[in-house]
């Protein structure tokens, strides 16, 4: 991507955090934008990590040849199954590979064709939160890939709100629609889409917690969810409910939707979570942090919180 390599900029070791989107239309544009970006980092001695699909990792390996061995490859399909797991993985990379005078760079393909509406929505929240999660003074360059040929225009428009700069094979410019923390707040405080009538609704209070979890276990077991996943779900929901009650909720409402391929569970209350990165920073005692635990064991976690309350929606594949 010649426009990126010729743009005058301070030395990498003196640069601050750069979060940019690259919109590509073909394999030729993919490699044209990505290969120079990666090679430049390797030649400068920077740590480079790329999160790609297997197909696109193959494209990059083919173009780089033996140089590909110097890159850390991550299967984004596996890691990004629940997008809330990506920021902790990125932070681990930064903790070991980036710091003052030690620039690093990464490539992410979090939003890609084939994802459903709920997955896309969580990926968009993740992209917005990346502007808050990384120290702005860190010399870290993150390039997010968007297949402009196959992704919907609305998804590309959203990219302009969460990335300060947008690049293509022929252009590089600042995004006039970038909204930074304001946009992250809008997405985090938005309400989740309404679902059909649940198969079960279970009220939970401090006094009824044990009985409610027994009911939840029975309801989950009556679906086709494997028994070990039933145990996991009950443990996750118990933790989320206890934390909500400790935040001051008088009652927690648990809902279940038994669908052909997934079991969806929602935990809602009237309290507010104000930490946009909740569950995306590794806590000192992971087993005691319910949102973190949910992110590690559920296939998708959607958390929204505003003055109207907090809703956490969990999805487990059957």
Taking the whole predicted model, whether its pTM rises above 0.95 is answered as no
Strands (DSSP E) along the chain, which ranges? 18-24, 47-52, 72-75, 104-108, 140-147, 165-167, 172-174, 200-204, 252-258, 262-269, 300-306, 309-317
Using CB atoms within 10 Å of the CB of residue 173, give its burial: 0 to 12 exposed, 13 to 18 middle, 19+ buried: exposed
* Per-residue pLDDT at 4 exceeds 80: no
Q: Residues, the chain, total? A: 318
**pLDDT confidence of residue 283:** 86
- The two tokens of residue 96 are 């070991």
Whole-number Cα distances in Å, 197 to 217, 246, 306: 20, 28, 23
What pairs with residue 166 in β-bridges?
A: 21, 173
**pLDDT confidence of residue 238:** 97
* Per-residue pLDDT at 196 exceeds 90: yes
Radius of gyration from C-alpha coordinates of the chain: 21
CATH code for residues 200-317: 3.30.565.10
Query: pLDDT-based confidence at 10, cuts 50/70/90?
Result: very low
| Pairwise CA distance, residues 91 & 86, whole Å | 9
Query: pLDDT-based confidence at 12, cuts 50/70/90?
Result: low
Over residues 18-30, the pLDDT tens digits come to 999 999 999 999 9
Architecture of domain 2-189: 3-Layer(aba) Sandwich (3.40)
Averaged confidence pLDDT in the chain: 94
Residue with tokens 């999160």: 51
* Per-residue pLDDT at 310 exceeds 90: yes
- What are the structural domain ranges in the chain? 2-189, 200-317
Q: Is the dihedral of CA 155, 282, 318, 301 positive or negative?
A: negative
Among the listed residues 243, 246, 226, the one whose alpha carbon sits nearest the alpha carbon of residue 299: 226
What pairs with residue 263 in β-bridges?
A: 258, 316
Query: pLDDT-based confidence at 62, cuts 50/70/90?
Result: very high
| Pairwise CA distance, residues 26 & 38, whole Å | 18
| Pairwise CA distance, residues 106 & 42, whole Å | 11
**pLDDT confidence of residue 313:** 98
């Amino acid at each position: 991507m010649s426009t990126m390599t010729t743009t005058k900029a301070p030395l990498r070791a003196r640069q601050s955090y750069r979060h940019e989107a690259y919109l590509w239309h073909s394999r030729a544009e993919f490699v044209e934008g990505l290969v120079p970006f990666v090679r430049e980092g390797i030649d400068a001695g920077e740590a480079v990590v790329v999160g790609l699909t297997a197909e696109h990792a193959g494209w990059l390996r083919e173009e780089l040849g033996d140089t590909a061995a110097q890159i850390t490859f991550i299967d984004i399909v596996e890691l990004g199954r629940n997008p809330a797991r990506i920021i902790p993985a990125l932070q681990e990379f930064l903790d070991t590979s980036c710091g003052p005078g030690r620039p690093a760079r990464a490539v992410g393909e979090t939003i890609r064709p084939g994802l459903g509406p709920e997955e896309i929505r969580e990926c968009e929240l993740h992209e917005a939160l990346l502007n808050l999660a990384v120290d702005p003074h860190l010399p870290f360059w993150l390039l997010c890939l968007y297949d402009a040929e196959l992704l919907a225009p609305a998804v590309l428009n959203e990219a302009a709100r969460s990335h300060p700069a947008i690049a293509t094979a022929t252009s590089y410019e600042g995004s006039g629609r970038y909204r930074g923390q304001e946009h992250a707040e809008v997405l985090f405080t938005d309400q989740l889409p309404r679902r059909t009538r649940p198969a079960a609704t279970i009220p939970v209070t401090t006094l009824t917690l044990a009985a409610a979890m027994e009911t939840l276990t029975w309801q989950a077991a009556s679906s086709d969810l494997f028994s070990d996943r039933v145990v996991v779900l009950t443990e996750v929901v118990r933790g989320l409910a206890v934390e909500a009650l400790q935040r001051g909720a008088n009652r927690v409402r648990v809902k279940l939707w038994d669908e052909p391929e997934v079991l969806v569970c929602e935990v809602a209350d009237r309290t507010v979570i104000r930490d946009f990165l909740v569950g995306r920073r590794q806590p000192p005692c992971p087993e005691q942090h319910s949102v973190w635990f949910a992110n590690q064991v559920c296939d998708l976690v959607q958390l929204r919180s505003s003055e109207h309350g907090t809703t956490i929606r969990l999805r487990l594949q059957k």
